[in-house]
Structure formats: structure tokens, C-alpha cells
Amino acid sequence: MGKIRIFDSLHNKIIDVDKVHKTDSEWKKLLTPEQYRITTKKGTEQPFTCTFDNIKEPGVYRCVRCGAGLFKTATKFNSGTGWPSYYEPVSDLNIRLEEDNSYGMHRTEVLCARCDAHLGHVFDDGPPPTGKRYCINSAALVFGT
């Protein structure tokens, strides 16, 4: 199993962790059907169905598959798109970006660096200070500290 470096938001430091590898059938057993469809099959949830819209308290949105910290409440904003949007990740170490040309569109896919879960897409039309809009499926996340 290889090791990767991620930023541990709980302890505020970079740590080495095992890369998470599971088979398709293992993910299917561990996740709800919606979580599996989104994170493993690169699905998209319907807009305006976000389960995190009303969360305002400080915390971290973590990967539903491996628990890696991905986005902080403080970086969440209302983009008007119908999907949870953040202007920056907890750390660039915790996500991986890939070109996505599916469905005749050119986009940048956002994946969890630790387990390769599909999270959503990033666009260049977000607010300062980054100008980025990480448009993330809520089924790919859990909220906590």
C-alpha cells in the first residue's frame, strides 16, 4: 500500500498516511448507494439538494470514503449553482486534480488524494482570495472537526 502526505487539519501539520485502495465491490458494501454512485462512479447529485447548506459552525468537511480533511466551513460560500462550493481546499496535498472531458465538456475534476474518491469539479469563477470555485457533491463529504 503506498504512503502519501496529507495535511492533518486536526493537528495542523503534514503527516504520512497510507493510500486507501479498495475494490469497486468493497466500496459498494461500505457506502450508501448515493455515496457509491457519486464517489466511485463519478456521479453528480441533483442541484439544490445539498445537505450542508445550513451548517455555519466551524468544522471540516471530510471525505466520506477515507476521512481525509478536504474543505473548511470558513471557505464555503453560496455560489448560486445548487452545489456546495468552497474557494479553497484544506490543503492542495489533500486533493488531486484531473482533466475531465466527459459529456462533451472541458472541466477539471476534483478527487480525494488519499482514496481517489470523485468529489466534484473546480472552476475559475470563484471569489477572492483564490478566484476558484470547488463545486463539491455533498454525498462525497461528512462534516466534523
Question: Model-level pTM?
Answer: 0.94
Domain boundaries, position 66: 3-144
Cα 136 to Cα 4, 26, 29, 38, distances in angstroms = 22, 23, 23, 10
- Alpha carbons 85 and 137: distance in angstroms, whole number: 9
For the annotated catalytic residues, the residue numbers are: 135
pLDDT digits (tens, 9 = 90+) for 89-108: 999 999 999 999 988 889 99
At 30-49, the pLDDT tens digits run: 999 999 999 999 999 998 88
Predicted local distance difference test score (pLDDT) of residue 1: 65
**What CATH number is associated with residue 28?**
2.170.150.20
Nearest to 137 by CA among 125, 119, 121, 123: 119
Q: Count of domains in the chain? A: 1
